[in-house]
Amino acid sequence: NHQIQLAARPVGEPKPSDFRLVETEAPTPGPGQVLLKTLWLSLDPYMRGRMSDAKSYAKSLEPGDVIVGGTVNEVVASNNPKFAAGDVVLGYEGWQSYSLSDGTGLRKLDPARAPIQTALGVLGMPGMTAYTGLLNIGQPKAGETVVVAAASGAVGSIVGQIARIKGARAVGIAGGADKCRYIVDELGFDAAVDHRDPDLRRKLAEACPDGIDVYFENVGGAVWDAVFPRLNNFARIPLCGLIAHYNDTETPKGPDRLPGFMRQALTKRLALRGFIVSDFASDGPAFERDVSQWIREGKIKHREDIVEGLDKAPEAFIGLLKGANLGKLLVKVA
Ligand code: NDP
């Protein structure tokens, strides 16, 4: 059995030495337990937050802990009447090849319904984040302009496509020409802007001639600075993530821009609301129904960036925080 543990809390960008690959005895299931083999591990930006000791909505990892993460597992042995060997389940078993569970939180997947790893991506937590954040907070209307950051990624790619389904114009901000081409040519966004372009502000203004009605924030930093002046009156801002800041080690030095921000928020009557995907858990059935249907109709496309082998997880995770992935980042563990 292989586990990847947190060796040390990263300071700034995580380094390979912050992770430790450990070999342990294969676990044996006790009464009521199932033995799970990890087939797929999801790598997600929130894991960076768990590695830090800053107070957040979820408990931090301690050095020595197995790193947390969503997984798709196969039941290899079961002492639990609810599960049988061969079942495929969605779990939260983390960065390890085998684990034990009493069944709490496991959800059986039907491999005939959709490829099993989509339960970690378009039909799972990231897809649900896009759907609930955009529809509950963004509330895009036909003809409006929706801008999304990290637009080629697991969440952003779905946000833009749902915006178009709702009749809005979708503009994506992504890093580099390949990602920008991908979101326009393959996902059907109306326009794309490269956040590494030194002319980002002007390019964004050109891509949004009528201003921005909904900004789905995944990034913060320079991208937020470019978007903020273009927001229209009554713009809605689902605040989903701030990945540009996850490796920050200190607060940036002044000038203090808070008064300017507050003035604009007031005069433009902006509605900014932070959310965690679980806030909208009751939307689960509607999400599954709608997104499954949109995939069948070809209105939603998605892409997986697959890394082979658990030992590759640290490097792939380090890359995720700086844009090395194109699409939903997954580790094929077995
Ligand atoms: P992605 O698949 O989009 O991968 C992360 C992407 O972030 C990178 O590929 C990179 O894309 C972009 N990025 C990284 N650093 C920067 C930067 N400095 N400036 C601009 N872009 C940057 O990840 P997810 O779709 O899984 O997550 C997207 C966001 O959603 C994250 O902020 C995440 O924390 C958040 N999230 C929030 C949830 C919630 O419940 N609130 C749930 C799930 C995700 P590029 O190359 O285009 O720069």
Give CA–CA dist 60/52, Å, rounded.
Answer: 6
Domain borders along the chain are 2-121+303-332, 125-282+288-294
Q: Are strands 19-23 and 88-91 parallel, antiparallel or unpaired?
A: unpaired
Q: What is the pLDDT of residue 232?
A: 98
Q: What is the pLDDT of residue 253?
A: 87
The arithmetic mean of pLDDT across residues 21-49, rounded, is 97
Under the banding of pLDDT at 50, 70 and 90, the label for residue 154 is: very high
Ligand 1 atom with least separation from CA of 279:
40
The arithmetic mean of pLDDT across residues 252-256, rounded, is 89
Task: Say yes or no: CB of residue 179 within 6 Å of ligand 1.
Answer: yes
Give CA–CA dist 194/149, Å, rounded.
Answer: 10
Q: What is the pLDDT of residue 61?
A: 97
Ligand 1 atom with least separation from CA of 276:
40
Q: How many CA atoms lie within 13 A of 286 on its CB side?
A: 9
Assigned CATH topology for domain 2-121+303-332: Quinone Oxidoreductase; Chain A, domain 1 (3.90.180)
109: pLDDT strictly greater than 90:
yes
254: pLDDT strictly greater than 90:
no
Ligand 1 centroid from CA 238, angstroms: 14
Percent of the chain scoring above 90 in pLDDT:
98
2: pLDDT strictly greater than 90:
yes
Task: Say yes or no: CB of residue 115 within 6 Å of ligand 1.
Answer: no
Task: Say yes or no: CB of residue 195 within 6 Å of ligand 1.
Answer: yes
Coil, strand or helix at 20: strand
Please check whether residue 225 is in contact with residue 200, taking contact to mean a CB–CB distance below 8 angstroms: no
210: pLDDT strictly greater than 90:
yes
The arithmetic mean of pLDDT across residues 81-102, rounded, is 98
168: pLDDT strictly greater than 90:
yes
Give CA–CA dist 161/140, Å, rounded.
Answer: 12
Q: What is the pLDDT of residue 144?
A: 98
Q: State the helix-helix crossing angle for 125-132 and 284-296, rounded to 10 degrees.
A: 100
Ligand 1 centroid from CA 325, angstroms: 10
Q: What is the pLDDT of residue 247?
A: 96
State the sign of the Cα–Cα–Cα–Cα dihedral 144, 147, 152, 157: negative
Ligand 1 centroid from CA 242, angstroms: 7
Q: What is the pLDDT of residue 252?
A: 84
From 155, 246, 272, mutation site for ligand 1 pocket: most ligand atoms within 8 A of C-beta = 155
Task: Say yes or no: CB of residue 150 within 6 Å of ligand 1.
Answer: yes
93: pLDDT strictly greater than 90:
yes
Assigned CATH topology for domain 125-282+288-294: Rossmann fold (3.40.50)
